[in-house]
A = this chain, B = another copy of it.
Amino acid sequence: MDKDTDRKRRPPSSKAPARGETRDRLMQIGMEIVSERGFSATGIELVLKHAEVPKGSFYYYFKSKDDFGLAVIDSYAEYFAHRLQRIFQNASLTPMEQLSAFIDGGAAGLRKFEFRRGCLVGTMGQELSILSEEIRHRLETVIQQWEVCVEHCLRAALDRGQVRPTLEPATASRYFWIGWEGAILRAKLSQSIEPIEVFRSQFFEFLGCTPPTGN
């Protein structure tokens, strides 16, 4: 084993938190910073500083910044899958209430972080020309999973006659995510929730139904 590999692969010191804990913290901080700044403007030093993790530990877990980026995407995908599952598998809501609840959640997140944090996939998507092909492919796969989820929701609404009968769930779901990423971008730009509400009202108009009213 050469020196460099040895340095990179040395386990964190005994004083450091358990392996999983440190990695989890790097992922959490990574998601937060990349969602705000984008990937190319996220320095490893900044992540380490915020996570209070020494540099050696970083290279114990990740081969490179790109390797870290892929892990951040995977963590975000996992977090987002839980969020989607919680909403879209909530049988006490109608499909259209589920969709509206998802939009509510996005709006709440934007407000909570004062419009600084958007969608990690959208933010990294804008940087593609300077990111690796592997990262591009991973981002595309993640958003395709989200599309399947909303497609099921729209199909359920169609089966129940709650949207116009001409709606094509698969295409409409793609259209939903196209608009959703655009709405988040615009909300950040105007520092306001209003673009999200424009998106909600017009997308429901497109579906041929009125947005369900919240409680």
Contacts and interface: CB of A to CB of B under 8 A. Distances in A.
Interface string A190-215: 11000100110110011000000000
Interface stretch (A18-26, A85-93, A175-183): A175-183
A46 to B, nearest CB: 11
Contacts of A125: 126, 185-186, 188-189
Instruction: Point out which of A41, A126, A140 has the most chain B C-beta atoms below 10 A from its C-beta.
Output: A126
A70 to B, nearest CB: 15
Given A125-B185, A126-B118, A182-B178, A171 B37 contact: no
What is the oligomeric copy number? 2
Contacts of A171: 198, 201-202
B127 A122 contact: no
A128 B188 contact: yes
Query: Interface of chain A, helix or strand or loop or mixed?
Result: helix
Interface residues of A, number: 46
A38 B37 contact: no
A129 B143 contact: no
A136 interface: yes
Nearest to A116: B129
A65 interface: no
B178 A126 contact: no
A191 B38 contact: no
Interface in A136-185: 136, 139-140, 143, 166, 171-172, 174-175, 177-183, 185
A186 to B, nearest CB: 5
What 6 A-B pairs are tightest by C-beta distance, nearest first? A182-B182, A126-B126, A175-B202, A116-B129, A178-B182, A206-B206
